[in-house]
Structure 1
Amino acid sequence: MKNLEAMKLRKLTILLLGIIVSIFTLQGCMQDEEANLDSADQAQEVELIENSVLAENYSDDEVALADMAEFQARTGYNNRTSVCFMTTWDSDNRILIIDFGNGCVGPYGKERKGKIIVSYADEEGLFMSDRTIAFDNYFVNNVQITGEIVIERAVRNEDGNLQNTYTVTDYALTFSNEETFTINGNRIREWIEGEGDNNPAAHKFEINGVLSGVSTRGVNWSQTILEPIIVDFGCSTEGNMLRTSGSKEIKYSLRNRERSRLVEYGDGNCDNEYIVTIGNRVVTIQGE
């Protein structure tokens, strides 16, 4: 009887050891797979992350350009040499046309051409109206922008700061090779510095929210902001990225495996760098 119990115990022990070894082997294989991502896989991941950052930067710019153009239209100020665009206010239809013509380098150091069309609801006042931004044959640095941005009327939050939500719908970047990168989702934008200052470089925002989309290679992705992202338009005067701090997590599937990557924007300084963690690799990327 004792021998039978001893045999059962040995079998159970062997089974448990086998399960433990299998678990560690699986974990080791997963870690090895992450560690040994080939250059093509890593290039695809970096491209997806770069394009997500680029699309966010461009959409931030266009929301800020709508603010800037509204101020200029309402004050009668219009100097193409300094701002690179002409504004036309259609008061009957409540439409503001921001026209970059055949191309010029202007706000935020980027070359733009074509038109941004801003349609207003009944409210009036800078940053205080529901607005819809659309695009007419519009390009930024030779990348065509299409889709729509809806900006809700700003309200005061519990900290006393103006805050609103803007929603990007089928916002797409189409590159010269005709590949398209698309984003959808909501952003909560809190104005933390520069409210009431007519100089756009004085404006600083805190951004939260969730986005999703499809990469140029047809990969579905999603992202969530983990630490609020600070967008500092003062960095534009130095030709640097607007995002200066904060982090986000990007998820997507590659080779039938779910990937989770961390993107960190820095410590608040104006520069063009951000850091991406891919497996056990840390990649520094130069943005624009």
Structure 2
Amino acid sequence: MKSLNVVIVMLFMAVGLVLTSCDKEAVETNNNETVVNSDSDMESSFEDIDDLASTILEATESNSGGRIAGEADDRVCEGAITFSGDANSGTIVIDFGAGCEDSYGNVRKGKINIAYTGGRFQSGSVVTTTLDGYSINDIAIEGTRTLTNITESANDYPTFSISLTGCKITWPNDDVATRTVSKVRVWKRASSPINDEVWITGEASGVTRRGVAYNTTITDSLVYKASCRVSTRGRLALAGTKIIETENKIITVDYGDGNCDRRVSIVVDGKSENVNLD
């Protein structure tokens, strides 16, 4: 009888260890996905802001005297844009007011302030985007984004260095994430703007909304395409790889080979898993 009791106790202990191990693995997997999602969420949010600023700048340059004849993007409500300056330098304010809804159902609030010097495609030109009380779907985003044209030749694709400072993202539940960026953006223009691609390389660091500090290095250019928008808040990369390092993890993220979807592969400790980004 004692032997039977010992066997039963050992059986329960073994089951407990298995369950504990499974729970731990599930928690770690969830944490890995949270880190990847947080990094991608911040990346897509600022890609959306860059894309919007670029669209408005192009509309400004293409109109006589730098004036904007009409709204250039369905993310911007009527009368939201004010402009001061000319084609070579000036300021643009996009004021979403108390709320401006786009065709995807996103609601933007606050202001995006754009200051530029030099024509966008001139080497040395600078575009500085500063957010003032800006939010999308009540997710508040702060920071200053500076794009400097570093194109070396007229035969090259327009190339820009990117720096992001003072970045803070606050969710409605008061979760907070921070981020700094040092990257290079290559704009591969096509005959039709819908086929334009943006290739990003470089590094980022910050703290996720769960308080996890991380460093990100792009190991194979992240590719964004104008025609691919699978996330409501902004475009996600459809190709490329990056490595995200936390205190105790190295996470490799592979965006695939060009399919327009939210699916990525993450590899941690030699284990691979396919996940869908939020």
Q: TM-score, normalised by structure 1?
A: 0.76
For 2:184 and 2:22, the matched residues in 1 are separated by: 35
- Whole-angstrom distance in 2 between the partners of 1:238 and 1:216: 19
Query: CA separation of 1:127/1:182 partners in 2, compared to 1, >3 Å: closer, same or farther?
Result: farther
Determine helix, strand or coil for the equivalent of 2:58.
helix
Cα RMSD (Å) of the superposition?
Answer: 3.0
1:220 aligns with 2:216: no
Query: Are residue 210 (structure 1) and residue 203 (structure 2) matched?
Result: yes
> Which residue, out of 114, 119, 123, partners 1:124?
119
Structure-2 residue corresponding to 1:64: 51
Q: Distance in 1 between matches of 2:34 and 2:43?
A: 14
Matched residue of 2:242: which SS? strand
Q: 1:118 to 1:107 in 2, by over 3 A?
A: farther
Say whether residues 1:79 and 2:57 are aligned partners.
no
How is 1:1-288 mapped onto 2 (pairs within 5 angstroms)? 37-74=24-61, 75=63, 76-79=68-71, 82-85=74-77, 86-91=80-85, 94-106=90-102, 110-121=106-117, 123-125=118-120, 129-156=125-152, 160-194=156-190, 199=193, 201-236=194-229, 241-253=235-247, 258-288=248-278
Instruction: Assess if the C-alpha contact under 8 Å between 1:98 and 1:117 holds in 2.
Output: yes
Unmatched 5+ stretches in structure 1: 1-33
Q: Deviations over 1:261-284 (max 9, x none)?
A: 110111101112222123354333
List gaps (5 residues or longer) in structure 2: 1-20
Distance 1:211 1:267 in 2: 23
Q: Provide, for residues 126-167 of structure 1, a one-character-per-residue CA deviation record: whole Å limited to 9, x for no partner.
A: 686301111111112221100111110241459721111111
Give SS of 1:178's match.
Answer: coil
Q: Go from structure 1 to structure 2 and tell me whether the alpha carbon gap of 1:146 and 1:127 turns closer, same or farther (over 3 Å shift).
A: farther
Shift of 1:36: 7.8
Q: Which moved more, 1:177-186 or 1:39-48?
A: 39-48
Deviates more, 1:231-240 or 1:157-166: 231-240
Q: Could you give the per-residue CA deviations for residues 234-282 of structure 1, whole angstroms, max 9, x where no partner exists?
A: 11389684311000010001xxxx2101101111011122221233543
Give 1 or 2 for the bigger CA radius of gyration: 1
CA contact (8 A) 1:265 1:275 kept: yes
CA spacing shift, 1:38–1:169, aligned 2, 3 Å: same
Provide the residue aligned with 1:6 in structure 2: none
User: 2:120 touches 2:126 (CA, 8 Å); kept in 1?
Assistant: no
Number of residue equivalences: 248
Which one is further off, 156-165 or 210-219? 156-165
SS at match of 2:97: coil
The one-letter code matched in structure 2 to 1:97 is V
Give the whole-Å Cα distance in 1 for the aligned partners of 2:275 and 2:114: 33
State the 4+ residue runs in structure 1 displaced beyond 6 angstroms: none
8 Å CA contact 1:207–1:228 kept in 2: the answer is yes
Name the one with the larger helix percent: 1
Q: C-alpha deviations, 1:191-228, integer Å up to 9, x for none?
A: 12337x6x4x3321111001111122332210111111
